[in-house]
Amino acid sequence: MNLRVLARGDIKVQDVVFENATGSRRYIGRSAVHAWKEEDLPANEQCRHVSWNLFLSTGDKPIPHVAYPKNSAPVEVPMDRYYTRAIQNGELWAADQSTAACVGVAFDPDFGGEYPSLKTAAKSSKVGA
């Protein structure tokens, strides 16, 4: 059984399934936008990592900065302890009533105002198998 979730605020919840399979880091419900200059990152995106390579010796390649904007569509994650707790602790939004009921939290169809375009669609969504 899977849970449907959305990224919440500026909180980055690791995609442990992806990381275990690939060895690369990714966050639930977020895209990664890379830029060599900080001013080239999305202007209103507060969830970001600004890299500094001062510890690298001269001549080493620069490290890009990364912003992690939220995706506008819910994603499915396994119903396991890690993701269940992330929803219960307010680190992810339950994207539908079924997910909220599965993990024992109240469903907020407004998602705190973060996803106004999903408000009515979330009410009718069901948890995937």
**Which residues form the domain of 88?**
1-11+73-129
Task: Evaluate whether residue 63 is within a structural domain.
Answer: no
Task: Tell whether 128 is covered by a domain.
Answer: yes
SS (HEC) of the chain: CEEEEEECCCCCCECHHHHHHHCCCCECCECCEEECCHHHCCCCCCCEECCCCCCCCCCCCCCCEEECCECCCCEEEECCHHHHHHHHCCCEEECCHHHHHHHCCCCCCCHHHCCHHHHHHHHHCCCCC
Question: What is the pLDDT, as a whole number, of residue 60?
Answer: 60
- Number of domains present in the structure of the chain: 1
In a domain, 36, yes or no: no
The reply to whether 35 falls in a domain is no
Q: What is the per-residue pLDDT for 8?
A: 96
- pLDDT confidence of residue 129: 42
> Looking at residue 99, what is its pLDDT?
97
Sheet with 48-49, edge to edge strand ranges = 33-35, 65-67, 48-49
In a domain, 24, yes or no: no
- Whether 50 is in a domain gets the answer no
Taking the chain (129 residues) in runs of 10, the rounded mean pLDDT of each run is 94 93 91 82 73 58 78 94 97 96 96 80 49
pLDDT at 122: 46
1 is written with which tokens?
Answer: 């059984």
pLDDT at position 40: 80
pLDDT at position 16:
94
pLDDT of residue 31: 87
Q: Is residue 124 in a domain?
A: yes
Which pLDDT score is estimated for 66?
Answer: 83
pTM of the model: 0.78
- Per the domain annotation, does 3 fall within a domain? yes
